[in-house]
Structure 1
């Protein structure tokens, strides 16, 4: 019996949008409760789906690997000599996407909690937040490339307005920079989608299709087409399949983001309001990593293997560069933004190893970084809401003024730097093991990349511990003096209620990582096998 749970999970926020739209502005306090209730429903629903999800051993192109599937014909158009146009509402989840649906539900609920004090245009704010919620859920569930692209583009507009309207002093610049970076990748992605469409046919109907499972199967490519697995076509001296892989990789790498495509991220984080920073770090960066695994590696496994050395190198550069720049920051929010660049570099290094432990570690790292980065930005928001300042050197001795807040910061810092017992340790160690073993398993990555990547763990300890020492210990010394001392009240019950589950999840996954590995393992094995056979 199909209860359409996945469709319900995706479109619950749309019901919230309609409800908020019809409630008059005089009852604006109702908007946040509607968003909060929607978030709780999604968290319960995604948690139930996560529990019911039972991994099955099958190939990436095998529909049996995917569960909670809804597959409904959507657009059918006779195109004459070009055949019939087929676009389906096709959604489903496997071990790669199921954890991210739960993560999205959790982060969106946290973002709603962090939005409690938003007073400016609250109706528009919560409508945009719910549309963004729906779009992200759709991206992680879509198995039709046309549908995926719609959800992927739909994320762009709400984020542009949420940063551009509710952001800081340079919000218009940050929003425009984010918009242009993302649009640049999306435009060229559309060209590859069209090329793939005319290269793939539905074996049942013979019509061209956007079905991603057919696109992942080289046997279904139209012989002689531009993207055919056997094609020898070259464009600009690069094989067509490699060029298609590079274009799609750049589009998703902007979201990750990797060096040198990362420059939009610090500006967007610094200017975005706290809830949007939480979403950017907790979810949006994971869309990039997920897209590389789901689309780039699954549709172009031969090109992915051909590019593996360069991908590993980019991952190492991102790890080290992001950590070094974070070490030099004076703005606390900008430091955490650059730490995200470094930590997401581990994801790229892990998936470039094409080993089971490296790929599984990369997925685990994305999950771990999702709620830990959300916790970090929420903590920065707590400080900024009180004194409207984030400069690291403007604070000292906060431990004696805000003891509960200091405990939260210390635990989150230790968890983020990869202390054993927390989730980030598991992800980073598996990535390093996978990268180190890659030379003997498949000969793709040299071992010096694993050694260089491990340097990022040392550097992350340096900037997190140095910041902790500078801001929280010693005799209290605040730029705002006695006035700041009165304003810096400790964490409220609402803030505590938001922080405890995130830190609890980091500890739970650090002690019992099988909660995630058991769900993702079958899909990781299928993906590694697909790439290894090309």
Structure 2
């Protein structure tokens, strides 16, 4: 246990400082948004300091471990720790949350509650990635759902209540499987009752029980990932949520499902994972191809990007199912890469809506001439999403492909079928993404009134941008303020800065992947060691 509780400080700081938001003076958003941004930035800098000065990249064991008995009668420990599987996602969470808070600058409706919920999400997400007690993990999983539900239901579009209800029903009901399976594991065996993950990994579960436990956990994590067929909440939620919330959903929340599959299913139930891995690969390919095909039919830009996210998360399943180090490294890199790409695309879709007052692609067109910086940034992020060589998406998907293709756990025929299916999905990606770019930015015909022409940002940031309806879809006038017509101005310095902070790592990872893979290489090697040593042969 470390002398100073670094992880406890990092986890609790946003929530504790968020409790002071009601005491801030003023009714508008000017003070509270600066306060929330400062809290996020301080916590992110603290995460960075701990990573640089306190974390050992060459160790695969848990570091910065803190273990306190919290509620003895429930056998609940405040047990935190980080390793290669979690440190990269914690850094990603700090970065995305800080940028999402900055992106929410225009929100004016009940800003104190809005920013408090953003900080509460920050605590829940980092707490989950650092939890080493299964009951604490479940509590963080549940705690993180509440801010998302409120953010969608209060700052959403016309169908916000439907989307928020669907989100909470899918995620809350499925998360009960975590509790049920966790209780079963904790009470099983003569070793005594414990929720500590390191102790649970040492228990000897019968194969049949392991498979049932694995399937129970899988249901919950598949919803969060999301995986076919329990993915339908995601397009609705993304379609209605404000784009700052979408950045957190795409950038962090979806990664919780992939992380949990690796940490709990693969780490605590390796025998069951070896049996179910081929089915994960099949579901991964279905995710990739089905969501890519469905994205073609989407007329709403945010829903199109949402289905693209589902498709890309299929590569995470494929990498986890590969049962070798290269594939698992690809899955980890894909989660970090997609966190950056998904957050950037949803941010740009939302800022485009702030100008055009529509997300329907057939109502756009010709925007490149009046918003050249927006066009350039959206194109660059789309190229990263379609796995252009030299960008992070290419390296991540290549590692997954090569990892699965070289996996000795499967027959050549099975590997060929899976890799061919995934390759077909990759061919579809540039078609629907470049089609969206063409519909939104190219051409001279548009249903939007561009009579206002190109206007500078500074004349609109206060009069228009600061009055954004914070809905992300076709608005209802009562949500934040009265609906206004389209008004075209190019990206502001704030918006360029947010996209640059996301785009630079995409390019950096694409050119030098080791800058990220060094975070988790030791841990991924340890995670697959049991399968390699056993010479696991499935198909």
Scaled by the length of structure 1, what TM-score is found? 0.90
Match of 1:73 in 2: 69
Equivalent pair of 2:47/2:94 in contact (CA under 8 Å): yes
Residues of 2 paired with 1:269 and 1:460: CA distance? 19
Residues 1:208 and 2:210 are matched in the alignment: no
Match in the other structure for 1:502: 502
Give the Å deviation of 1:67. 1.0
Per-residue CA deviations over 1:188-234 (Å, capped at 9, x if unaligned) read 22111111110267xxxx542110011122xxx2xxxxxx42x37xx
Return the alpha-carbon distance in structure 2 between the equivalents of residues 497 and 123 of structure 1.
24
After superposition, the Cα gap between the structure-2 partners of 1:163 and 1:281, relative to the gap in structure 1 and judged at 3 Å, is same
Q: Deviations over 1:270-324 (max 9, x none)?
A: 1101111111111110001001111111111111110111110000000000111
The answer to whether the Cα contact below 8 Å between 1:346 and 1:431 also exists between their aligned partners in 2 is yes
Q: Give secondary structure in 2 for the equivalent of 1:489.
A: coil
What is the aligned partner in structure 1 of residue 155 from structure 2? Answer: 166
Structure 1 counterpart SS, 2:80:
strand
Does the 8 A contact of 2:177 with 2:219 survive in 1?
no
The aligned counterpart of 1:296 is 265
TM-score (norm 2): 0.90
In 1, distance between residues paired with 2:324 and 2:165? 38
Match of 2:183 among 186, 194, 201: 194
Q: Could you report, residue by residue, the CA deviation over 1:337-369 in whole angstroms, capped at 9, with x for unpaired residues?
A: 000000000100111011111100000000000
1:143-158 aligned at under 5 Å gives the runs 143-158=132-147
Task: Name 2:376's counterpart in structure 1.
Answer: 407
Structure 1 match to 2:11: 10
Q: Distance in 2 between matches of 1:500 and 1:289?
A: 26
TM-align CA RMSD: 1.7
| SS of structure 1 residue aligned to 2:387 | coil
Post-superposition offset of 1:24: 4.3
CA contact (8 A) 2:96 2:247 kept: yes
Count matched residues. Answer: 500
Aligned residue number for residue 44 of structure 1: 45
Q: Please give the secondary structure, in 2, of the residue aligned with 1:97.
A: helix
1:246 aligned counterpart, secondary structure: helix
Say whether 1:434 aligns with 2:423. Answer: no
Cα displacement (A) at 1:479: 2.9
- 1:249 is matched with 218
Aligned to 1:90: 79
- Alpha-carbon distance in 1 for matches of 2:404, 2:171: 29
Q: Out of 383-392 and 478-487, give the one that drifted further.
A: 478-487
Unmatched segments (≥5 aa) in structure 2: 456-486
Kindly indicate whether structure 1 or structure 2 has the higher relative contact order, using CA contacts under 8 Å at least 6 residues apart: 2
- What's the secondary structure of 1:155's corresponding residue? helix
5 Å matches for 1:226-245?
228-229=204-205, 231=206, 239-245=208-214
Q: Choose the corresponding residue for 1:460, options 429, 432, 449.
A: 429
Is the 2:153–2:164 contact (alpha carbons within 8 Å) kept by the matching residues of 1?
Answer: yes
Distance in structure 2 (CA, Å) of the matches to 1:29 and 1:489 = 22
